[in-house]
Every structure is written in structure tokens, then in C-alpha cells.
Amino acid sequence: MNVRNAARDETGQVSVRLGADRLCKSYGSIEANRDISITVAPGEIHAIVGENGAGKSTLMRMLQGIEQPDSGRIIVDDQVVDLTGPQRAFTLGIGMVHQEFMLAPDLTLLENLVLGDEPVIRALGPASTIDWRSALESGERLARETAAHVDWSRTARNTPVHIQQFVEIIRLLRRGTRILILDEPTAVLAPQQVDDLFALLKKLRDGGTTILFISHKLREVMALADQVTVIRRGEVQYTSPVAETDPDTIAGHMVGGQGVLPESAADAKSRQAVVGDVVLEVSGLTTPIVEKSHPLHGVGFELRKGEIIGLAGVSGNGQNELVECLVGLRPVGGGVVSFAGQDITHMSNQQRRARGMGYISADRRHEGLALEASVEANVIAGSQRKPPISNGGFFNRRAMRRAAEERLSFIGVRHGGLDNAAGDLSGGNQQRLVFAREIASRPSLLIVSQPTRGVDLVGIAAIHGILSDFRRNGGSVLLISEELDEILALSDRILVMADGAIVGETSASDADIGHIGRMMVIQGAGDG
């Protein structure tokens, strides 16, 4: 990229709003980014796609000044800049909306809007006071401009997730963000909310904001982006205007020479499951009202052998609480949970596991993994006292290594070495690791929450294939997912949850995405 000669065009506009010029970044022996060059024009929506561990987050961290490149240059407004830290990037107008929102949960949305940059009245001499009226005016003006409906007096904690996301965006705009980076922004949204977000982003784009977004969903890339760049194994593989490409071409560049994608979930599902006896029976389940949780109101359903039930719902409507009750991590207020004919309502998580219940938590960083521990320790956890790793009281180190390697390669976890910390894996590879461990313990029932959040195309197909095989071999799955496509592709039956209750049920063959989406948002927290 010839920056010095990247002359402003005839109208005096800059041609490169944000650019990376041969950026390199290594962690030990891993080259996370190698000679990455991208160019983003003013008022462009640029999608960055790539497999898990491809190097997308590393690039974003450098563009935000959180990490320094080993070599290469970053360009803002046609000029080479030195992003010495996040504050410098912010001053230049670069702002990022992370997957985990940064709002302070107990402050109101208005307080969050101005936090750290409060408008003040200086009428009282040296003392000053916050000008709430002007804060509210600026919030409402931005909300109007972005067509968002925001109740500024609500705390962030009590605000539906899609409104929190709007407020995050508005907050950045208020502080002069001109280059907005979004990390998988639709992961937590219902379909209608995705449409609203895209309408907002297009509006911002048309007003001159430059948008860079990371996504694993090619349908979204096609619907939203002007330009797409594929990163593979730390290098730019492909870049194209979206109007001149198609999802197959993009996917081909993402997976490189791996050829045909693994069997899709839809193909796997077309082989009808044989459904047997009831394995999990839940009736009248309630939870006490506890702060920071969403109470359950009499949840009941049956899950049979060889069946996948998909639980659809906007996040924050009681799904987490239900899962925690089922796996023994939250006390129930009333009702009964039976597993394989036995009342397990008050059993511990360990007792449930010993009876064949596997659990894949949505919160892999806190519940699913010990991030400081090695990749090997994490993938073996729970099996270290069983053969072949332990035999007659003797611990077999080689058998442990072999088992770890087999488990990791079974689901294609990309890692830099068995002794590296699990926390150093990319997000998607952390999720694969949890899956590899849980499947290896051969459960009869899997409770799976957000199994493919942040996982790439190949990983999704692999995980879906594993779930379908598990079901075909007589396993039962309760699948909780914010991805309706995933629920539709895998489930035999679909339950919809809103406001702590099951509000609808449909068989997969009759499922209609619009109808399910409406049930999801018609009540409860999704309605905000």
C-alpha cells in the first residue's frame, strides 16, 4: 500500500479511512498475523471472516492499539499512525463493540451513556455538577438519528440485550467514533433484532461511519457488507466487493484446500431418528426469585432417547437458569427433574454426571475451562482417574498424552502445544476443546448451551455432525441456542422459551422461522 501516494481524491476526501499494511504479530512460535494488508474506505462496511484461530481478533486488537504489531503499519485517514494504546486509537475515532458488552450493569442507560465523559454545568465556580438534561438530550438525539427506542432510566442489567447493544454503539458515536469495529454483533440477537441492527449499521454507513465487522455467518456478510476479506492461518487469502462474490467462493477461501465441508446438519438430520423412552422429564419447575436471575415459572417437558429438543429464545429469558437447574448448579424452588427414571431434583452436579449427564456450558471461559491450566489438563479433566490413564492406582503419563491428542484431533482443535494454557487458544478453539472433553466421557444425555457460538464454518459442521451422530446412536440432547438456524437444522422438536416459561412448541418439520421468532420476542425480556 503506497500511503504517501494515496492521494486524497478530487473532492479532498481521504481514500483510506483505516488500513493495515503488512502487519505481523507472533505469539511465541505462532504467527497469528503475517503480512496482513487491508484497506477500508470511508463509509464502507467491511466484513472480516475466517476460521477459528485465523487471526481476526489479533488484527482487531492491533487496530485498537491494545497490542503492538511486530512489524507493519496502521493507516488512519491516509496517514501512518502509531497506536501506542487504546486511548490513542479512541482519539483517532476507532471504537469497538465487544461480544461481552462493557456497560456497567447497575447504572442506568443514561449514566452509562455519559460515563467518563459527563457534560457538566460550571455555574458553581470551581465546583461542577453533571448536566443530566444535556446528557438526556444528546442520548435522545442519537437515538432518534439511529431510530432506536431507548428507556434511558432503566439499568443496563434490566435492559434487553439488543437495546444494550444499541446503547454501546450510541455511546461510542457520542464520543466521536468514526470507525466502528464490531465482533460478531449478531451472536446474541433474535432474527428481527438482527434486521434492526443491520438497518442501523447501514444508516450509519450512509452517514459516513466506517464499519469493520467480524462474522462467521456468510449470509450476514452478504446482506450487510460492501467488502469482504478472508483471513486464513494468519494471512489474507481473499478480498472482494460483496457484489462480486458469493458464499461458496468465500467459504472455499476460508477452508483452503480442505475440500468439501463436512456433512451438514441438515443432511445429517434427514436420516430420521428413532425416538425411544423418556430420558429426561421435567415438570412444574420453578426457581425462587433471586437477584440477577430470571425466575422459572413451571417449566415442563419430556426428552426421549434418540431425540434432540431445541430450546429457542432471546437470551435472558430463563434459559440459563433452566440449564443450571437441570445440571445441578442451581437449587430449584419447586417441581421435579427425573433422569433415566430416577428423581435427580436435589442431586449434585457430580452425581448427575456419574449417571451419564454431559454438559457443555455457554460460558466456556468460566465454567467450561480452567484457562490457566494446560490444554492437556483441560481436555483430560474428569478422566484422569479412569483407565487407560490410571490403572490399578498407577498413573500413565503417555496414555494421558495419547488420549489428549486423540480427543483434540477428533474435533480439530488448533493449538500451539499440549502444554500451552487453554486461555491462549482462540475463542472457537476453546469451545471445540470443551466439546472434545464432554463427548469423550460418553454421556447418554447432553445438555448443550450455545455450542457453536464463535465457532467457524468447519467447526460448526463438525459439532453438528457430532450431535447428530450422538443422537443417531441413541443419545438425547437438549440444545439451547440463540441461533435459530442451528435449532432448525438439528432439532426433532422445538420449544420456545420467554419470560421463564415455555411459550410454544413445534415439531421441526412444521417449524416456521418467522413464527418462532415472533414467539421469542412477544413476551418477556425480549419485548423491551
Task: Name the segment binding ligand ATP (CB under 6 A); options: 45-53, 167-175, 205-213, 349-357.
Answer: 45-53
Residue 76 binds ligand ATP, judged by CB under 6 A: no
Contacts of 211 by beta carbon, 8 Å cutoff, 6+ apart: 44, 45, 46, 179, 180, 181, 182, 201, 204, 205
What is the Cβ-side half-sphere exposure of residue 8, based on CA atoms within 13 angstroms? 8
Helix axes 191-206 and 161-174, enclosed angle (nearest 10): 10
Q: Is 427 a binder of ligand ATP (CB under 6 A)?
A: yes
Q: How far apart are CA 271 and CA 248, in angstroms?
A: 25
| Contact call for residues 403 and 388 (beta carbons, < 8 A) | yes
Binder among 14, 30, 107, 418 for ligand ATP (CB under 6 A): 30
Q: What is the DSSP string of 431-477?
A: HHHHHHHHHHT--SEEEEESTTTT--HHHHHHHHHHHHHHHHTT-EE
**83: helix, coil or strand?**
coil
| Nearest 10 degrees: Cα torsion 285, 291, 292, 298 | 10
Other Cβ atoms less than 10 A from the Cβ of 438: the count is 22
Site string for ligand ATP, 399-418 (x = CB under 6 A): ---------------x----
Separation between Cα atoms, residue 419 and residue 314, nearest integer Å: 38
Among 160, 318, 428, 500, binds ligand ATP (CB under 6 A): 428
Q: Where does this chain touch ligand ATP (CB under 6 A) — which range of 54-62, 71-79, 141-149, 443-451? A: 54-62
Nearest residue (CB) to ligand ATP, 451 versus 524: 451
Given the rule CB under 6 A, which of 37-45, 50-58, 291-299, 390-398 is the region that contacts ligand ATP? 50-58
Work out whether 306 is an interface residue with ligand ATP (CB under 6 A). no
List Cβ neighbours of 11 (8 Å cut-off, separation of 6 or more): none
Whether a cis peptide bond, with omega within 30° of 0, leads into 388 is yes
Strands 501-507 and 493-498, bridge-based pairing: antiparallel
**Which residue lies nearer to ligand ATP by CB, 451 or 454?**
454
The region of 74-82, 315-323, 427-435, 477-485 touching ligand ATP under the rule CB under 6 A is: 427-435
Stretch that binds ligand ATP, among 16-24, 115-123, 132-140, 419-427 (CB under 6 A): 419-427
* Residue 414 C-beta: closest distance to ligand ATP, Å: 6
Rounded least distance, CB 282 to ligand ATP, Å: 33
With CB under 6 A as the contact rule, the residue among 23, 32, 312, 440 that binds ligand ATP is 32
- What character string, x for contact with ligand ATP (CB under 6 A) and - otherwise, covers 434-463? --------------------x-x-------
Q: In what order do the strands lie in the sheet with 278-286?
A: 297-304, 278-286, 334-339, 342-343
Q: Is residue 58 within the footprint of ligand ATP (CB under 6 A)?
A: yes
Query: What CA–CA distances, in Å, run from 79 to 4, 13, 189, 195, 419?
Result: 8, 13, 36, 35, 42
Q: What is the nearest approach in angstroms of ligand ATP to the Cβ of residue 160? A: 25
Per DSSP, the three-state class of 238 is strand
In the chain, the amino acid numbered 209 is T
Terminal alpha carbon distance of the chain: 46
Of the pair 159, 229, the CB lying nearest ligand ATP is at 229
Q: Which of 53, 262, 310, 368 binds ligand ATP (CB under 6 A)?
A: 53
Task: Provide the strand spans (E) within 184-226.
Answer: 210-214
Site for ligand ATP in 206-225 (CB under 6 A): none
- The smaller minimum CB distance to ligand ATP, of residues 27 and 395, is found at 27
Which position among 54, 143, 285, 327 is part of the footprint of ligand ATP (CB under 6 A)? 54
- Closer to ligand ATP at the Cβ: 328 or 428? 428
**CB 306 within 8 Å of CB 476:** yes
- Nearer to ligand ATP (CB atom), residue 120 or residue 371: 371
Q: Taking contact as CB under 6 A, which single stretch among the options 79-87, 155-163, 264-272, 425-433 is the one that binds ligand ATP?
A: 425-433
* DSSP assignments along 282-318, one per residue: EEEEE----TTS---EEEEEEEETT-EEEEE--TTSS
β-partners of residue 360 are 448
Segments of 313-356 assigned E as strands: 334-339, 342-343
Pick 61 or 162: Cβ nearer ligand ATP: 61
Q: Which residue has the cell 456478510?
A: 221
Q: Which stretch binds ligand ATP (CB under 6 A): 93-101, 306-314, 420-428, 487-495?
A: 420-428
Q: Total residues at the site for ligand ATP (CB under 6 A)? A: 20
Neighbouring C-alpha atoms within 13 Å toward the C-beta of 274: 3
Which residue in 19, 38, 55, 178 binds ligand ATP (CB under 6 A)? 55
- Using CB under 6 A, which of the segments 25-33, 170-178, 271-279, 434-442 binds ligand ATP? 25-33
User: Is 500 one of the binding residues for ligand ATP (CB under 6 A)?
Assistant: no
Among 27, 122, 208, 350, binds ligand ATP (CB under 6 A): 27
- What is the contact surface with ligand ATP in residues (CB under 6 A)? 27, 30, 32, 50, 52-58, 414, 424-429, 454, 456
